[in-house]
Amino acid sequence: MENHLNQNKILLTGASGFIGGHIVEHLLRQGFAVRCLVRRQVQLPAPPNTQDLLETAVGDITEPSSLTEALSGVHTVVHLVGIIRETPRATFQRIHVEGTGNLLAAATRAGVKRFFYMSGLGARPKARSRYHQTKWEAEELVRASGLQYVIFRPSVVFGPGDGFVSMLVDLVTRGPIIPIVGNGRTPMQPVWIGDLVQAVEKTLTSPELWNQTWEIGGPNQLSFEEMIDTVAEVLGIRKPKLHIPIPVMRPAALMLQFLTPNPPITLDQLIMLQEPNICDPQTLPEKFGIDPVGFRDGLLRYLRQD
């Protein structure tokens, strides 16, 4: 596919992840040339007739020397890499802060013009969770880099391949009761993946959106329990619910974190689940021209198989 957008090559990190996969597919369909940084050589899927717009470069954001070649000839970096759980080798500090710093340094050396960073809603100084604290520190590096930048802070993102609704589906379908964390009243503002992807594309073509930090949420502010109820309703499941008090969950999460490599919930996630995760619902319509999909409508698009 020939397109003028080919000249503005993008290096995208996190292409093999949930959000990255959707963004790459969309950008290719729109005619953008995208080079994806991948840790292992893989054949990334490309829509029909877009294969020549897609390149891969093997590299790891924690290994600065692996980034130089990947950034050669790149105009814009779209940096999506992030983790929600730590491992001994991949800590929040190492991935969010040091990894973003490595990428910024390599991008500056390579003459990159613009840097898009995917942070998370709730990133702020002195945040209680390490996830939010290190996202904030990474944001500060981006803002101080001297490059043109855009930072997105989405609330929880949902759509085919996500981790969040999959977790809700698990809770709803697995046992005889549906467990609810704490009082279940903490509000969130789920964003449909298709809307987030469109907002990224809009940013890439709209200079007026740059050098700003955007909080991105969907049209509905829903409590954790309301989201569980919506998932259950869409799946046609009726079961009793059981609220598990936070003081009971905390020691259990702590213990599981040490005992299993993949615990159902970590202490950091427990902290985040107690903090409201909401923002101005008018940003997507007013600033990005997007009429966002509601939570229930989004679920109906991919959860119901009828």
Handedness of CA 268, 274, 275, 281 (dihedral sign): positive
Residue 118 as a binder of ligand NAP (CB under 6 A): the answer is yes
Pairwise CA distance, residues 100 & 83, whole Å? 12
- Told to check if 39 binds ligand NAP by CB under 6 A, we report yes
Provide the minimum distance between the beta carbon of 274 and ligand NAP in the complex, in angstroms, as a whole number.
17
Give the nearest distance from C-beta 176 to ligand NAP in angstroms: 28
Binding mask 239-278 for ligand NAP (x = CB under 6 A): ----------------------------------------
Residue with smaller CB distance to ligand NAP, 16 or 108 = 16
Considering the rule CB under 6 A, would residue 293 count as an interface residue with ligand NAP?
A: no
Is 299 a binding residue for ligand NAP by CB under 6 A? The answer is no
5 binds ligand NAP (CB under 6 A): no
Alpha-carbon 87 to chain mean position:
19
Structure tokens at 205: 């073509």
Among the listed residues 112, 156, 228, 272, the single contact to ligand NAP using CB under 6 A = 156
Query: What count of other Cβ atoms lies within 10 Å of the Cβ of residue 231?
Result: 24
Per CB under 6 A, 159 contacts ligand NAP = no
Q: Is 81 in the site for ligand NAP (CB under 6 A)?
A: yes
Gap between the Cα atoms of 71 and 77, Å rounded = 8
48-57, long-range: CB < 8 A, 24+ apart: 49/1, 50/1, 52/1, 53/1, 53/3, 53/6, 53/28, 54/24, 54/28, 56/15, 57/11
Alpha helices, DSSP H only, in the chain? 18-29, 92, 99-110, 130-143, 164-173, 193-204, 224-235, 246-259, 267-273, 283-288, 295-302
Calpha distance 53→35 (Å, rounded): 8
Q: How far apart are CA 86 and CA 106, in angstroms?
A: 25
Interface with ligand NAP includes 302 (CB under 6 A)? no
Near ligand NAP by CB under 6 A: residue from 8, 62, 108, 283:
62
Beta-bridge mates of residue 76:
10, 114
CA 44 vs CA 23, 27, 97, 217, 291: distances in Å: 12, 13, 27, 28, 30
For position 16 contacting ligand NAP by CB under 6 A, the verdict is: yes
> Of 1, 8, 17, 265, which lies in the binding site for ligand NAP, with binding defined by CB under 6 A?
17
Say whether residue 85 binds ligand NAP (CB under 6 A): no
CB of 215 to ligand NAP, least distance (A): 11
Report the nearest approach of ligand NAP to the CB of residue 251 (Å).
27
Q: Closest CB to ligand NAP among 245 and 264?
A: 264
Nearest 5°: the CA angle 285, 291, 292 is: 100
Question: Total residues at the site for ligand NAP (CB under 6 A)?
Answer: 24
Q: Candidates 11, 120, 141, 279: give the one binding ligand NAP (CB under 6 A).
A: 120
List interacting residues with ligand NAP (CB under 6 A).
13-20, 37, 39, 60-62, 80-82, 95, 99, 118, 120, 154, 156-157, 164
